[in-house]
Structure formats: structure tokens, C-alpha cells
């Protein structure tokens, strides 16, 4: 059986299925982020109940704590997390961007200073693959260089060239036939560099392709334009993964541009701050008006939180700083996102995606561009504070 089956298209939007040793994942797919082997506030049963089929974990953080050897001893990520579905690990490349104050990049590796105890650790392309092979994820990523959104063209060009050199080292090191190694297209916001990167990576050939270096502070229009440029450069018979993107409006727009896979911490991060997705946008559950909202957070929502509790109860939990608030809010937000993916898949199969896209935008109002970018910058800055 092939790794990826493309079953339906509607315009550029695609529906398909990933086939992994730990089960199939229908696409378009959103991967909840289990950075340290845990989607914050949830366990594996929660993930199954909300309809997750694939999750993402972070190689760098698991390497630091508890250590790759412990995860390996417990049966890899699947045994460690007690998660039976598919898994993907990133390589540590994003930490080379987000932990800029704690790393230096040489020709051979990214050298990190641990944010936990200050010890020094070298992530070479070879080490990144070896760690991921021991973690046992179904899909793994090569070590790459992610440039910031405001980098000049020369800086991004150097990053692309180094990413390409490192990619070949990753390919040579990768030895597990039951894991799929993706290529990553970099190039910032520069069309010619994106073309250069895509041409090189597709020339090597991979079972799947990632688009990196976006959602790092650029405008939505710049991100959409770059996805529109890059996605058609990638093979139609392989999945296309847009890294780090997860706001509802971005998911809809990037599915429309031919993307199959996504991950992002946004749904879980804002849930812990009391910001909940509803059909019309975001609801601040801590607002006074929710104190006497005896109905669910959203009528018709099929998540456990809305089927069981009132918005007033969740409001109370946040006001009282009860830990249950984080679990219930996270369940709601992730189920909202996963249901969005299911609805888009059904619309693509039915040939009705354009109508679905119009209807979504007619009711869902995202934060304004300035607010969104300020929030993103605060989140990125949090890495630099350790």
C-alpha cells in the first residue's frame, strides 16, 4: 500500500489518506502538538475521543527531557504516550529559530545551550535523524534552518543552501524503512528561493513534503501568497505539510491552496488563556457575560465539554483557577479544529468546497491583523525568555 492516497480534489483543495504503521490519517489533517509527549492538559484517551488520528512531538525537547533512551526503552513514542495512532516528530530545526538566544549555528550543526540546566548539546543532521529513529515516529523531519520573517534575501539564501546540504546528510543517515522522512521547502518570502528549494528537494524525492519558514511573523497575505506559489511546485501524489499553522481561517485558506497537513500550538495555547473557538470567531470565556450562560459554550458542538457542561461552569473554573478549566477548554478548541478538518474533507469529496469556504468566511471573524501579529510576537518572545 502506498504511504499516501489522494482520493478527491475540488479546485486545488485535496482529500486523501495517510497510511502509517499505526493506522490511517484522513486528510486534510490537523496534528495536535504533544511537544514533550503530551498534548497539554489531555491524555491519549482524550485525543481519541476528539477524533485525533495523528499527533506531533518535539525531538529537541524529548531529547533534553526525559531523554531519547527512556522513550526508546518504553517502546518509542507510542509506548511512552500510550498513543495508538500515527505520530510525527519535528527535528529541532524550529528550536534553532525560536531559541535564538540559546544556540549558535555552524556548518555542521546547531549547538544549543539547554534552557533547563545550561548544558551544551549538538544537533547535527545525523543526530536529529538518529534521535527520531529511536523515538519511533511514523513520520520524521530533516534538520533545517528556519529564517525569521524579516531576514534579507542573502540571509535566507544562505539558510536554504545549508538546509539543502544538511538534507542530503539526513537522507544518508535515515535507515528505518517503517518511517517516512519528509523534505522541507524553505526560502522565506522570496519566490526564487522557494523555487530553488522546491526544485532541489523534489529532485531528491521524498514520500512527503513540508513547507517551513512561515507563520513566523509575516502577514497573512504574505503567507497565503507563499503557499500559493509553493504548493504547485510539489508532487501531486505526495502529502503537503504546512508547518506551524493552525488558526481556523488559515486552515481553510491553505486547504484551498492545496495543503494536506497542519500542526500548531495555537488551539491549545489560547484555550489555556480562556479563548475558545466558536462558529463566529473567538469567545472569551472569562468575560462577565459568560457568568450566567447556562447553555454550552456553543450550541450544537459535539465535544465532551459542550455535551456535558454549561459555559457558566467553564467560566467559573477559569475564575477559580481550577485545573479542570484547561482540560475542558482544550478539548473544546481541538475538537473545533478537528471538526473543521472533517467538514472540509466532506465538502471536498462532495465537490462543494468553494461554498463551504464562502460560508465559513461569512460567519467566522478572526482577530484583526495587528492583534494577531502582536500575539504571535509575544508567543515567539516567550521562547527568548526561556
Place of cell 534521535: 131
Q: Which residues contact 222 (CB under 8 A, 6 or more apart)?
A: 149, 189
Say how far residue 139 (Cα) sits from the centre of its chain.
13
* Three-class secondary structure assignment of the chain: CCCEEEEEEECCEEEEEEEECCEEEEECEEECEECCCCCCCCCHHHHHHCCCCEEEEEHHHHHHCCCHHHHHHCCHHHHHHCCCCEEEEECCHHHHHHCHHHEEECCCCEEEECCCCCCEEEECHHHHHHHHHHHCCCEECCCCCCCCCCCCHHHHHHHHHHHHHHHHHHHHHCCCCCCEECEEECCCCCHHHHHHHHHHHHHHCCCCEEECCCCCCCCHHHHHHHHHHHHHHCCCCCCEEECCCCCHHHHHHHHCCCCCEEECCHHHHHHHCCEEEECCEEEECCCHHHCCCCCCCCCCCCCHHHHHCCHHHHHHHHHCCCCHHHHHHHHHHHHHHHHHHHHHHHHHHHCCHHHHHHHHHHHCCCCCHHHHHHHHHHHHHHHHCC
Q: Please check whether residue 361 is in contact with residue 30, taking contact to mean a CB–CB distance below 8 angstroms.
A: no
Say how far residue 376 (Cα) sits from the centre of its chain.
15
Q: Determine which one of 144, 250, 260, 263 is catalytic.
A: 263
Cα 359 from Cα 346, distance rounded (Å): 14
Cα 351 from Cα 11, distance rounded (Å): 9
Q: Determine which one of 10, 90, 144, 260 is catalytic.
A: 90
90 classed as catalytic: yes
374 classed as catalytic: no
Q: Which residues contact 66 (CB under 8 A, 6 or more apart)?
A: none
Return the active site residues: 90, 263
Amino acid at each position: 500500500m502506498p504511504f499516501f492516497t489522494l482520493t478527491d480534489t475540488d479546485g486545488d483543495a485535496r482529500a486523501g489518506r495517510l497510511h502509517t504503521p499505526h493506522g490511517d490519517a484522513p486528510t486534510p489533517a490537523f496534528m495536535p502538538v504533544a511537544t514533550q509527549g503530551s498534548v497539554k492538559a489531555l491524555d491519549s484517551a482524550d485525543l481519541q475521543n476528539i477524533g485525533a488520528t495523528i499527533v506531533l512531538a518535539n525531538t529537541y525537547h524529548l531529547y533534553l527531557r526525559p531523554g531519547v533512551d527512556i522513550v526508546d526503552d518504553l517502546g518509542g513514542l507510542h509506548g511512552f504516550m500510550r498513543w495508538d495512532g500515527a505520530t510525527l516528530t519535528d527535528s529541532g530545526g524550529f528550536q534553532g529559530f525560536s531559541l535564538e538566544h540559546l544556540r549558535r549555528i555552524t556548518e555542521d550543526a546547531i549547538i544549543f545551550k539547554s534552557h533547563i540546566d545550561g548544558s551544551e548539546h549538538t544537533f547535527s543532521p545525523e543526530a536529529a535523524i538518529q534521535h527520531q529513529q529511536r523515538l519511533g515516529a511514523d513520520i520524521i523531519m530533516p534538520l533545517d534552518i528556519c529564517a525569521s520573517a524579516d531576514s534579507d534575501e542573502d540571509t535566507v539564501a544562505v539558510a536554504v543552501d545549508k538546509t539543502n546540504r544538511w538534507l542530503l546528510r539526513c537522507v544518508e543517515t535515515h535507515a528505518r524503512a517503517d518511517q517516512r522522512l519528509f523534505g522541507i521547502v524553505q526560502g522565506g518570502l522570496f519566490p526564487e528561493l522557494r523555487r530553488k528549494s522546491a526544485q532541489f528537494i523534489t529532485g531528491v524525492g521524498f514520500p512527503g513534503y513540508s513547507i517551513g519558514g512561515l507563520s513566523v511573523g509575516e502577514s497573512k497575505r504574505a503567507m497565503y501568497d507563499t503557499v500559493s506559489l509553493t504548493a504547485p511546485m510539489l508532487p501531486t501524489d505526495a502529502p503537503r505539510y504546512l508547518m506551524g499553522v493552525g488558526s481556523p481561517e488559515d486552515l481553510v485558506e491553505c486547504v484551498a491552496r492545496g495543503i494536506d497537513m497542519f500542526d500548531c500550538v495555537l488551539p491549545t495555547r489560547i484555550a489555556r488563556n480562556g479563548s475558545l473557538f466558536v462558529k463566529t470567531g473567538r469567545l472569551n470565556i472569562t468575560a462577565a457575560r459568560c457568568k450566567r450562560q447556562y447553555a454550552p459554550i456553543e450550541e450544537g458542538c459535539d465535544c465532551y465539554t459542550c455535551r456535558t457542561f454549561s459555559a457558566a461552569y467553564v467560566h467559573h473554573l477559569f475564575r477559580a483557577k481550577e485545573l479542570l478549566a484547561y482540560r475542558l477548554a482544550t478539548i473544546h478548541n481541538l475538537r473545533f479544529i478537528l471538526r473543521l478538518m472533517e467538514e472540509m474533507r466532506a465538502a471536498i469529496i462532495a465537490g462543494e468546497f468553494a461554498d463551504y469556504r464562502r460560508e465559513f468566511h461569512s460567519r467566522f471573524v478572526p482577530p484583526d491583523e495587528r492583534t494577531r501579529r502582536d500575539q504571535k510576537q509575544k508567543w515567539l518572545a516567550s521562547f527568548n525568555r526561556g
